[in-house]
Structure 1
């Protein structure tokens, strides 16, 4: 029996590629030029697409894939996939929800610890022979307040880690969670005013564009720290750069930023920000779980069964 034709729009390591190739005939198009060429020349035969939230899949591209019936994001995000257009075509949509939650939550705390304790700068200072008496003291992380914007699976795991540091948690969602005992705030500004650490774990997309802007940063205040492990679009980068440079907030830890993959030029020269290149959800364990989840979903779909993690 012929394997379904799968268009892969994201880079896969050798092990992941081999696992997926056991189930699909892969059309590999991980660069913009390859993507355009593959859709133009082989689009008519494609039955499935593997992408992610950042890379997405446009409505125009879907229109060039007349046989496509299954589209999956490898990770949890799907903000740049034309969801409504795909649904109108009857395309089955799924994502990798739950496959990298621990990894992202771990990374959020790594960024928080690094930002609050000034780890990156102190590492450089130590290598340059600077002793502690020449450095300002950094705050204690424990026994503070954390505000989480987006108390989903990842947000809950961040809160669980915060409890280990005796940190009190509050949160903002579109509506309160009935299964969460944490304090709910109906605005991001009020949450920021209450907390010491503001952790962004909400989905990206138009609904959350620049949710964290100047007023939020002013409310967070000069002893406050921002951590973003969701999408760069949620935070107004220019406002954040101004807030960090002026001391409006104390510091930030960012795994995501506007204009990826270009480094955020307004931020790279500032010493009170820790930056990583959108790696919070990636580890050997997380990638393996995401690939396995994709294969499970795809196998179920092409066997006529319901997918496990639908969008």
Structure 2
């Protein structure tokens, strides 16, 4: 029996590449001299697409693949997949909702501490010889002691961050589309109300039109001069121009970001700001976690072709 044909849109770690190539007829766009030729050559045979959540599966690509059955995403987010077209064509879409939760939550807590306590700036201060030349660095204006963490988007990652934050002694509040049953954290019925009630606002929302620029100048004003913004959700949820203006004007005290509106390009106004901690989208960026994400994608592909039922279909699939 012929192996199912899979079109791979993004690189994978070697261990996952080896398994994919053994199980499927794989066609890789990364590194291809002529990606369009790769697609054209395999289009009639392609039954699946695999990718980390940096690939793009739009209607145009799906229409070029008449026998496409499944798009398997090696990550939690899947806003780069045209879900309307997928449903119209009865194409299954899967993701890996649990593989990266703990790792991202760990980095979120690290970013919170780095941002509030100005640890990146402190590291730079020491390395530049300023401690010896100028004496002790100025005290950080913020502290986690007695602070409230507001979580915008209390999903898997939001819950995992909340558990870690409780161990730090932080009080927890949240906003989402609805109040969650069995959750004791303080609920606020709007992003504005949450921003006004917390000291640190953590963005843990998915991407897409519903959350685009949810964090704008108005929300930043509510967060206030002693407030901090941390984003480990999606870069598109934050209006970066408004954030730069708020950081420059002292509208908020600081920001910690792992995601950006136009990756890998970062708003130039952010780069020179000492009150911004900037990470290059690495919250899930460890070999064990990226391997687990790739394995979850592989598990979905194998289950689909063996049983017709994937392990983790996205919620829109019913």
The TM-score bracket by the shorter chain reads over 0.9
Shift of 1:284: 1.6
CA-CA distance at 1:39 after TM superposition: 2.1
Three-state SS of the structure 1 residue aligned to 2:180 is coil
Find out whether 1:11 has 2:19 as its counterpart. Answer: no
Q: Does the Cα contact within 8 Å between 2:76 and 2:96 map onto a contact in 1?
A: yes
Distance 2:77 2:36 in 1: 22
Correspondence for 2:207: 204
Deviations 1:113-166 (A, max 9, x none): 111111111111111222284422113223210000100000000000100111
Q: Partner of 1:47: helix, strand, or coil?
A: strand
- Report if the CA contact (8 A) 1:52-1:75 is conserved: yes
Contact 2:5 2:48 in 1 (8 A): yes
Residue 272 of structure 2 is matched in structure 1 by: 269
Matched, 1:155 2:158: yes
Matched, 1:128 2:131: no
Distance 2:70 2:307 in 1: 12
Structure 2 unmatched ranges of 5 or more: none
Q: Distance in 1 between matches of 2:111 and 2:287?
A: 19
CA positional deviation for 1:31: 6.3
Moved more, 296-305 or 34-43: 34-43
- Which SS does the other structure have where 1:155 is aligned? helix
CA distance in 1, matches of 2:202, 2:30: 31
Question: How far does residue 203 in structure 1 lie from its aligned partner after superposition?
Answer: 0.4
Cα deviation, 1:190-233, whole Å, max 9, x if unaligned, reads: 10000000001110000100000001001111111111111110
Question: What is the 5 A alignment of 1:270-309?
Answer: 270-309=273-312
**3-state DSSP of counterpart to 1:22:** helix
Provide the residue aligned with 1:23 in structure 2.
Answer: 23
What is the TM-score normalised by the length of structure 1? 0.96
- Residue 246 of structure 1 corresponds to 249
Q: CA deviation at 1:182?
A: 0.8
After superposition, the CA RMSD in angstroms is 1.5
Structure 1's unaligned 5+ residue stretches are none
Shifted more, 33-42 versus 171-180: the winner is 33-42
Structure 1 segment 218-257 matched on structure 2, within 5 A: 218-257=221-260
Task: Determine if contact 2:12/2:294 at 8 Å carries over to the other structure.
Answer: no
User: What does 1:46-61 correspond to in 2, within 5 Å?
Assistant: 46-61=46-61
TM-score w.r.t. structure 2 length?
A: 0.94
Q: Quick check: 2:13–2:290 contact (8 Å CA) kept in 1?
A: no
